[in-house]
Chains A and B, each alone.
Chain A
Amino acid sequence: MYTRDELPQYVKTAGKVTVFTAFTGLLVFMVAFIFDLGNKEINQALAQNSATTTLRVLNTPPVFDVLPYEIIGSSTTTPTNSGDTVSWGAVATDSNGAPYFMIVCSTADAPTANSNAGTLGTAPPACEAPGAIQWGVSASTTSGDPVVVSTTTVDRNDSGGGSFTESNEWYAWVCDDDINSPQCSLSSQGAFATSTSPFNVNSRPELTSAPNDSPALPGDPFNFDTVAEDDDTDGEADTLFITVCDTNTLYSTSTNSCSDFRASSTVGTLTDPTVPYTVPVPTQDQSYQAFVYVRDQHGHEALAPIQSDFIVANATPTVQDTSINMSGIGGPGSDLTLTILAGETPSSTLTFEVLDDNSCLNFDSDPEISEVGISIFRSPFRATTTCSSTNASHYDPNHCYTSAQPPSSWDLVCTASSTSCAGAGDTSIEYSCTFPLWFVADPTDFGPFAGDDWVAAVQGADDNFATGTQTTTAFPRTLEQNLGLESVEGQIAYGDVAPGDISGNGLNLHATSVIVNVGNTALDQQVAGQSMCSTFSPSTLCPVDETSTIPAPRQRFGTSTFLYLGPETEELSSSTPVTLEIDLAKTTSTSTPNPATTYWGIEVPNEITFAGDYTGLNDFVAEVDQSFSP
């Protein structure tokens, strides 16, 4: 309440207020003057000096109709491979119907909405908060239309790859670029399972080297090895796989395989994956190009494959025992037979198949098998030791025939079939041979070698001089006895003998007949003969006439120059052949058949009156001496 008494006090207080007010006003004026505050509004106010009211409706930000999502959701188990694109999609509308942008940043700090004095949709927002990475910003999108933001991931080992870690947070906004008041919505990290923040990036494994432990033979395995690692550990450490292709051009990163595929591992390893590879049969012996690809469990390959050529070793040719078929002149499967006396029986046959895991053709399309070695022998002998196809000194026409001998000694002729090798995919080539056997070849049906067999052993040698072991046939053959003799003289020459005399003017057997053993058995000699007369012929025997026919028994024979009438001599008989134990051993020399001499004598009876030439015919019949020993 006002009191007059206190008036001086009132005046004093009013003065202070006035001074304070004046001072404050001055201060406000100076600030406004210095900072030119309100200039715009003042100018507008001046321009609209006719308006009576003002209202400005502020811009509102666009809003998400569909929350942002990773179009291909990534997670620790399904990360996005480096180099691939991560895309976000969303739908937003702007209340003003203005176009909008979607921006994706790495932090929750709101991006800066921008505006441009020009047309709308030309000033995208930006992630400008400290430490924020802008994953991407869309193009201007019509309100209500879907929007897509994309970014291409970069491997952590590549330049610029530092921005991308295995797990990357993202925040998305939709913003407009309103000229006066650009606005951004509230952020979102998505709401759809793996399509939400973060997105995961899978970097490549690192492949340092790719050796292999070839050479290997066809049919044998070897390993393609690697030195490789993968630093990704999000969720679980990445495991690595290996794929081997023939070239580096046919590998598909989408299927993680190649059309010229050789091998791949199926079980992942944390480091240094390896895969065994079995060389197919047949495979030609040479070096083969190979490229090793390493990928992680998410199908992401190391930057580049490494060439890891491998070598297929030279396989030694082999021969299956069942393919070796030796036959005599009787045809396939027949026993061996000798039909040439004192010579070589030609045309026994031998067929066989040589197998080579390097195929029957070499890399130059020439025959892989360059040579065959053959030995044919009686079974107690052995291809490896006593009748080798590589040792000429083993040759013995009685029991061992070896291709180490020159054709002049043993004319073995072998021909490789021109049709049996069907190409590089074929392992076999057929051979057919003909060969002769000497007349001295040991028989195995009866006699001292009964129970033995004749067998063929074959070995092949390839174009790299690899020689297989000799394989002996599964089908041995019998070599049959050939009983043969030859007469050195065609006649027995008694000379001139007077009636009542014994030939040779003596008491001993003196005429000779020599036979030689031209078969492969020991033999004895059965002897018979006819009476002699001047009219004898095989079809016309001598008449019984004591004056003109010399009876057969007047001829006597023996194995030595015995007395004509001695007990060691035998009488010739026309009806009862006499076996003379000449014990002619089996011939063992091809050039010198064993001979045996029979000694003969004849007594011309006193009654003979017809003087002239007497003719006769004696039979020498060979008989196997089964008791002979070699």
Chain B
Amino acid sequence: MNARFLKFLALLILLVVSSTSNLPVVEAGFGITPPYVRNSSLTRNSTYEQQILLVRSDTSIPQKAEITVDAPEILEWIQIVEGDEIKMPVGVQKVPMTVRVSVPDDADFSEYEGSIRIRTLPDGDDLAAGAVSISLGALVDIKLSVIDRQIRDFRIRQISVPDLNEGTKAAWLFFPGKIRFDMLLENTGNIDISPSEVEFRIFDRTGKVLLEETSNLGKIDTVEPYGTDTITAEIPTRLPQGTYIARYKIYNDDEVKQEGDLTLNILPDGSVQVAGFGFAGLSVAHKVSVLLPIFAFMIALIYLVHSLRSNKSRRRK
């Protein structure tokens, strides 16, 4: 290397050092997400949980988070599930903190506020001697409302439809294919809820020709207040194997909460190891054709038993 190159290298290093020297050299960092516990539709006796992640930037030292609830009015309602001190071991960058709000049955219908103060400390007594060390923390904002009315509402966060088998015929009975329409539902109200109806309009592949209109059979599982869960609507289809465009609508009573298009793949019977519809999926005519003979037989049986008993009693007399 010649002298000119060495000069250039030195200049470059000088430039780099000078350009970065203005950046803050960060010692430690702490944060929380989300920084709040909020619910505006609590009811008496309800329980609401909010998970808050405690995050830090330096995972090389063990730390602990000290938690102090500052909410005099509702102190008894609030519980930190993990306890008032949460360990943050070496190597762990984030830990959950669960705030559980349990509304008592005599709570006033009102708005409540407060905060949760979190501060981090070395998990031990290691502090630099002869200095004022800095402990970082964050404040969780609490805003709660207890109300005296039921809110029945939800939000669909995701939907999916796995492939399904086409319907099958057994003797004269046609058992339709079963569309399993999965919905990730977030209950944004304060009572158990599920969609009141899921409606499918199934079109051909081009989306131009309507082939079938159908809706869910049976009840759909409910989701608890403030919870998010996957529920499934079971929808019969009599279409043969093929690919279709389905336009769905998810109802909350009369309100359409979600609608959209999706691709529906119906496979030959037996392709998917999922049970299809049983008796419930039969058409009304087919149901009648099964039930009527059974009822007739039962009536005949009852009549026969009744006749035999009558004859016996007559003979005794």
Q: Which of A483, A493, A529, A591 contacts B32 (CB 8 A)?
A: A483
CB of B309 within 8 A of chain A? no
Chain B residues 39 to 98 lying within 8 A of chain A, measured CB to CB, are 53, 55-57, 93-94
Name the B residues within 8 Å of A491 (CB-CB): 128, 131-134
B53 and chain A: residue at smallest CB distance = A339
Q: Which of A320, A538, A613 contacts B129 (CB 8 A)?
A: A613
Given the known A-B contacts A333-B157, A518-B57, are A446 and B29 also in contact in the complex, defined by CB atoms under 8 Å?
no
Pick from A480, A485, A490, A620: contact of B128, CB below 8 A: A490
The answer for the CA separation of A146 and B102 in the assembled complex, in Å, is 107
Q: How far is the CA of A489 from the CA of B129 in the complex (A)?
A: 15
Which of A175-183, A321-329, A562-570 sits within the interface?
A: A321-329
Q: Report chain A residues within 8 Å CB of B136.
A: 485-487, 515, 619-622
Using Cβ atoms and an 8 Å threshold, which residues of chain A touch B35?
Answer: 481-483, 521, 624
Interface residues of A in 589-630 (CB under 8 A from B): 591-593, 595, 600, 612-624
Given contacts A577-B117, A619-B137, contact A339 B261 (CB under 8 A): no
Segment 484-506 of A: residues with Cβ below 8 Å from B: 484-494
**CB–CB A482/B33 < 8 A:** yes
Cβ of B95 to closest chain A Cβ, rounded Å: 11
Complex alpha-carbon distance, A474 and B125, angstroms:
52
CB of A422 to closest CB in B, whole Å: 9
Please, which residue of chain B has its CB at the minimum distance from the CB of A281? B205
Query: Are A333 and B184 in contact, with the CB atoms below 8 A?
Result: yes
> Which residues of A have CB within 8 Å of B118?
621
Cβ-defined contact, A540 with B125, below 8 A: yes
**A71 CB, nearest partner CB in chain B, Å:** 45
A623's closest neighbor in chain B, by CB? B139
A519 located at the interface, meaning its Cβ lies under 8 Å from any Cβ of chain B in the complex: yes
A481-B36, A484-B30 as given contacts; A526 in contact with B139, CB under 8 Å: yes
Given contacts A219-B206, A483-B35, A486-B57, contact A342 B29 (CB under 8 A): yes
Do residues B33 and A337 form an inter-chain contact, with CB atoms below 8 A?
A: yes
Of the candidates A489, A555, A593, the one whose C-beta lies within 8 Å of that of B134 is A489
The CA of A614 and the CA of B205, in the complex, are separated in Å by 78
B24 and A516 contacting across the interface, CB-CB below 8 Å? yes
- Chain A residues, Cβ within 8 Å of B93: 339-340
* A484-B27 in contact (CB<8A): no
Chain B positions within 8 Å of A320 at CB level: 260-263
The 8 Å CB contact of B158, one of A333, A342, A487, is A333
Give the docked Cα–Cα distance between A26 and B26 (Å): 162
- Cβ-defined contact, B33 with A342, below 8 A: no
Residue A492 contacts which of B53, B129, B131, B228 (CB distance < 8 angstroms)?
B131
Tell me if A537 counts as interface (CB < 8 A to partner B): yes
Contact in complex: B122, A538 (CB < 8 Å): yes
Q: Mark B17-40, 1 if CB is under 8 A from A, else 0.
A: 000000111111111111110000
Q: Does A63 contact B (CB under 8 A)?
A: no
B134 near A338 (CB under 8 angstroms)? no
Task: Check A427 for interface membership: any CB of B closer than 8 A.
Answer: yes
Report the minimum CB–CB distance from B251 to chain A (whole Å).
16
CB-CB under 8 A from B228, the residues of chain A are 333
Q: Is A427 in contact with B243, judged by CB distance below 8 angstroms? A: yes
Decide yes or no whether A341 CB sits under 8 A from chain B: yes
**Residue from the set A322, A494, A591, A620 with the largest chain B CB neighbour count within 10 Å:** A322
Do residues B134 and A339 form an inter-chain contact, with CB atoms below 8 A? no
B217 partner residues in chain A, CB cutoff 8 A: none
Q: Which residues of A contact B125 (CB under 8 A)?
A: 537-540
Total interface residues in chain A, CB < 8 Å: 77
A615 touching B129 by the CB < 8 A rule? yes
Interface residues of B in 171-218 (CB under 8 A from A): 184, 205-206, 208
CB distance from A235 to the nearest CB of B (A): 39
Q: Does B141 contact A (CB under 8 A)?
A: yes
CB-CB contacts below 8 Å: B132-176 with A: 132-139, 141, 156-159
Other-chain residue from A489, A494, A536 in contact with B27 (beta carbon distance below 8 A) = A489
The one of B31, B117, B127, B131 that contacts A483, using a Cβ cutoff of 8 Å: B31
Query: Shortest CB–CB separation between residue A270 and chain B, in angstroms?
Result: 31
Contacts of B184 in A (CB 8 A): 332-333
How far is it, in angstroms, between the C-alpha of A600 and the C-alpha of B132 when the chains are bound? 11
Residues of A within 8 A of B289 (CB): none
* Residue pair B205, A595 in contact (C-beta under 8 Å): no
Quick check: A323 and B132 within 8 Å, CB to CB? no
B26 / chain A contacts, CB cutoff of 8 Å: 342, 486-488, 516, 518
**Is B119's beta carbon under 8 Å from chain A?**
yes
Q: Let me know if B293 is at the binding interface, CB within 8 A.
A: no
Q: Does B258 count as interface, using CB distance less than 8 angstroms?
A: yes
The smallest beta-carbon distance between B287 and chain A, in angstroms, is: 33
Q: Which of B30, B32, B141 has most A Cβ within 10 Å?
A: B30
Q: B262 near A620 (CB under 8 angstroms)?
A: no
Contact B34 A480 (CB under 8 A): yes
Q: Is the C-beta of A428 less than 8 angstroms from some C-beta in chain B?
A: yes
Cα distance A27–B304 in the bound complex, in angstroms: 125
The answer, yes or no, to whether A126 is at the interface (CB within 8 Å) is no
| Alpha-carbon separation in the docked complex, A513 to B135 (Å) | 12
| A residues near B157, Cβ cutoff 8 Å | 333, 475
A505–B117 alpha-carbon span in the complex (Å): 35
A477 nearest in chain B by CB position = B157
Query: Is B134 in contact with A492, judged by CB distance below 8 angstroms?
Result: yes
**Knowing A475-B158, A481-B33, A537-B127 touch, does A494 contact B132 (C-beta < 8 A)?**
yes
> Are B263's CB and A342's CB within 8 A?
no
Partner of A486, one of B27, B119, B205: B27
Considering the chains assembled together, what is the distance between the CA atoms of A622 and B116 in angstroms? 12
A595 CA to B27 CA, complexed, in Å? 13
Given known A-B contacts A339-B94, A486-B27, A620-B136, A493 and B36 have beta carbons under 8 A apart: no
The CA of A339 and the CA of B88, in the complex, are separated in Å by 14
**B197 vs chain A, min Cβ distance (A):** 18
A258 interface residue, CB < 8 Å from B?
no
Q: CA separation between A612 and B119, bound complex, in Å?
A: 28
Least distance between B28 CB and chain A CB atoms (Å): 6
Neighbouring B residues of A515 by C-beta, 8 Å: 136
A529's closest neighbor in chain B, by CB? B132
Once bound together, how far apart are the Cα atoms of A521 and B31, in whole Å? Answer: 11
- Take A219-B206, A615-B130 as given contacts and tell me if A487 and B260 are in contact as well, using a CB distance cutoff of 8 Å: no
In the complex, 29 of the A-B residue pairs with CB atoms within 8 angstroms, ordered by the A residue number, are A280-B205, A320-B262, A320-B263, A446-B36, A474-B258, A474-B260, A481-B34, A481-B35, A483-B31, A483-B33, A484-B31, A485-B30, A485-B136, A487-B28, A489-B134, A491-B134, A492-B132, A492-B134, A518-B26, A526-B117, A591-B23, A595-B24, A613-B129, A613-B130, A614-B130, A615-B130, A617-B127, A621-B119, A624-B141
Q: Give 10 new A-B contacts, CB below 8 A, not counting A339-B55, A339-B94.
A: A320-B262, A339-B93, A340-B55, A341-B29, A491-B134, A518-B31, A591-B23, A617-B121, A621-B138, A621-B139
Leading 6 A-B pairs by shortest Cβ distance: A484-B31, A613-B130, A486-B29, A537-B125, A621-B137, A483-B35
